[in-house]
Amino acid sequence: MNYNSLYKKNFKRKFGQVFLKDVNVIKSIINLICPKINQIIVEIGPGTGAVTKRLVNLVKYLFLIEIDIDLATKLTNKLSNNNINIMCQNVINTNFFILSRQMNQKLRLFGNLPYNNCINIIFHVLKYVNVIHDIHFMLQRELANRIIAKPNSKEYGKLSIIMQYYYNIVPLITISPTSFYPTPKVYSTVIRFLPRNYKISINLDKLILILNLAFNQRRKKIKNSLKKLFSIKDLIKYNINPSLRADEITIDQYYYLTNKINI
Ligand code: SAM
């Protein structure tokens, strides 16, 4: 059976199913993850197991979280092996603190994420930073560019600032649409997230509040967009030029402001 007929039977658009078919790409991804035998690898959305089946013999503990019961059942039949734990559930309902505690180890997360639900999954995973060793996610290239963006670029925004607070993020490889079935319209990028040793802790709700005000009208000067929270005098006191616009404020300056909010 060729790839097309195999995947046509399985493919469900509502779960953002786009399956990797290029063996060289799959091998590169495994090399990038570089699993070690005693590590806990958690794959989000294993699908038909294109990457999973090459991971099975490389680690002692492999957890697979797959929302689609049909694919989860097929994987259970295909990969019956003591070291595999298949969880048929929405990753958004997965508590990684519990899993890490049970295994007494930090987790290595990996996944070719469904395009239609990427941001929710990333935000869910974000809060488990303390029990994460590292993460490798394959994402739509445009989304990856927004996550790694720096100030003064059009991609720089809420997502870049929030993600880069928690993680050092490294783009690794770009993958062509022809490596998947069905063929998506966009390129993908694999990025690595390494938990940061951040010195100051911030309140995420407060950071989101500032970012919403600043970026909802990103061309406004911050003395106007943030005036509900900071006076011009405050901004000057914090060494931040009130005439700058949202995308000209550095990530550290946003973190600093977050800790100055008095609410
Ligand atoms: N890893 C496979 C591959 O690379 O060929 C499939 C990747 S496909 C882009 C995304 C996978 O995530 C699908 O298998 C889909 O069913 C699964 N998925 C989608 N939403 C999910 C969720 N909320 N929780 C767990 N799995 C999910």
**Which CATH number characterizes residue 67's domain?**
3.40.50.150
Q: Where does residue 248 rank: exposed (0-12), middle (13-18), buried (19+ CB within 10 A)?
A: middle
Nearest by Cα to 109 from 156, 57, 46: 46
Whether 189 has a pLDDT exceeding 90, the answer reads: yes
- Whether residue 248 sits in one domain with residue 184: no
Our mutation pick for probing the ligand 1 site, out of 74, 109, 112, counting the most ligand atoms within 8 A of Cβ, is 112
Q: What angle (nearest 5°) sits at the alpha carbon of residue 75, between those of residues 73 and 78?
A: 115
Identify whether 157 is part of a domain.
yes
Q: Residue 16: CB within 6 Å of ligand 1?
A: yes
3-state secondary structure of 198: coil
Identify whether 141 is part of a domain.
yes
Whether 82 has a pLDDT exceeding 80, the answer reads: no
The one-letter amino acid code at 73 reads T
Tokens in use for 108? 């290595």
Identify whether 263 is part of a domain.
no
Identify whether 149 is part of a domain.
yes
Nearest by Cα to 127 from 115, 139, 116, 135: 135
- Whether residue 28 sits in one domain with residue 78: yes
Going by pLDDT thresholds of 50, 70 and 90, the confidence category of residue 9 is low
pLDDT of residue 1: 46
Q: For atom 12 of ligand 1, which residue has the closest CA?
A: 45
Which of 160, 177, 195 is the endpoint of a domain? 195
- Whether residue 238 sits in one domain with residue 132: no
Number of folded domains that form the chain = 2
- Whether residue 94 sits in one domain with residue 15: yes
Whether 12 has a pLDDT exceeding 60, the answer reads: yes
Give the H or E element holding residue 147. Answer: helix 141-148
**Predicted confidence (pLDDT) per residue in 115-157, tens digit:** 999 999 999 999 899 999 999 999 999 999 999 999 999 999 9
pLDDT above 70 covers a percentage of the chain that reads 94
pLDDT of residue 90: 98
Identify whether 250 is part of a domain.
yes
pTM of structure = 0.93
Which of 195, 218, 239 is the endpoint of a domain? 195
**Mean pLDDT value across residues 160-188:** 95
Mean pLDDT of the chain: 93
231 C-alpha to ligand 1 centroid (Å): 46
Whether 5 has a pLDDT exceeding 60, the answer reads: no
Q: Name which residue leads in pLDDT, 218 or 262.
A: 218
- Whether residue 254 sits in one domain with residue 148: no
Tokens in use for 214? 């600043």
CATH number reported for the structural domain that contains residue 213 in this entry = 1.10.8.100
Rounded-to-integer distance, Cα 196 and Cα 5, Å: 44
- Start-to-end CA distance of the chain, whole Å, equals 61
Whether 210 has a pLDDT exceeding 50, the answer reads: yes
Going by pLDDT thresholds of 50, 70 and 90, the confidence category of residue 83 is confident
- Whether residue 215 sits in one domain with residue 191: no
pLDDT of residue 127: 87
Report cis status (omega within 30 of 0) of the bond before 182. yes
Identify whether 126 is part of a domain.
yes
Position in ligand 1 atom list of the atom nearest CA 46:
1
Going by pLDDT thresholds of 50, 70 and 90, the confidence category of residue 199 is low
Q: For atom 17 of ligand 1, which residue has the closest CA?
A: 45
Position in ligand 1 atom list of the atom nearest CA 92:
23
Whether 225 has a pLDDT exceeding 80, the answer reads: yes
- Whether residue 237 sits in one domain with residue 142: no
Domain that residue 253 falls in? 204-258
Nearest by Cα to 7 from 48, 54, 49: 48
Q: Residue 117: CB within 6 Å of ligand 1?
A: yes
- Whether residue 225 sits in one domain with residue 126: no
- Go through the chain and tell me how many residues it has: 263
Q: For atom 5 of ligand 1, which residue has the closest CA?
A: 19
**Predicted confidence (pLDDT) per residue in 84-121, tens digit:** 999 999 999 999 999 999 999 999 999 999 999 999 99
- Whether residue 182 sits in one domain with residue 89: yes
Q: Residue 25: CB within 6 Å of ligand 1?
A: no
**Predicted confidence (pLDDT) per residue in 237-261, tens digit:** 999 999 999 999 999 999 999 999 8
Q: What angle (nearest 5°) sits at the alpha carbon of residue 164, between those of residues 159 and 168?
A: 140
pLDDT of residue 200: 64
Q: For atom 18 of ligand 1, which residue has the closest CA?
A: 45
Rounded-to-integer distance, Cα 74 and Cα 67, Å: 13
- Residues whose CB is less than 8 angstroms from the CB of residue 179 and which lie 6 or more positions away in sequence, other chains included: 20, 21, 22, 25
Which of 176, 195, 214 is the endpoint of a domain? 195
- Whether residue 120 sits in one domain with residue 242: no
Q: For atom 23 of ligand 1, which residue has the closest CA?
A: 90
Q: How many other C-beta atoms are found inside a 10 Å radius of the C-beta of residue 188?
A: 26
- Whether residue 208 sits in one domain with residue 185: no
Cα dihedral 1→116→33→54 (10° resolution): -20
Tokens in use for 119? 């941001």
249 C-alpha to ligand 1 centroid (Å): 36
The 8-class DSSP code of residue 184 comes to P
Q: Residue 35: CB within 6 Å of ligand 1?
A: no
- Whether residue 139 sits in one domain with residue 223: no
Strand partners, 41: 62, 108
